[in-house]
Amino acid sequence: MRALTSTPRPEPGHLLPTLAGALVVGLALPVFLLAGWRVEGWALGAVLWLGVQGLNLLLAHVKARSSSLAASGVQAFGLFFKAIALLVVLFAAVASDPQFALAAAVTYALAYTLELGISLLAYFGSEA
């Protein structure tokens, strides 16, 4: 087990996990429509997920053009900013309408969870 977590591996591609997350967001819309849930909640979750993907692309572009120390700082700031921005939007949504916020949070969380799971499988499934 120690060899699995202590051996560095190359960073896997981001395309497959991103497509899987997009698939979850896309499949959530018919579920919301058929179940009679608020589509506005789905839309906020989809916009949040797309916004995070856009920030990821921007950070990857900046990382590729910077020195390793500067890239580390940009990545750390980006991670912090994404988390804080996501929480601010979701807390504002909770203050206005808890059901709306719950729908947005569930949509985002399902897409993010699948994306993270596929990323982890790709990372730990690759050769060390």
Q: For the chain, 128 residues long, give each residue's pLDDT as a single digit of tens.
A: 566 666 788 888 889 999 999 999 999 999 999 999 999 999 999 999 999 999 999 888 887 777 777 778 888 888 899 999 999 999 999 999 999 999 999 999 999 999 999 999 998 887 77
At 52, list the tokens.
Answer: 């995070």
Could you tell me the pTM of the whole model?
A: 0.87
Task: Give residue limits of the domains in the chain.
Answer: 12-125
Radius of gyration from C-alpha coordinates of the chain: 17
**Reduced to 3 states, what is the DSSP secondary structure of residue 37?**
coil
DSSP 72-110: HHHHHHHHHHHHHHHHHHHHHHHHH-HHHHHHHHHHHHH
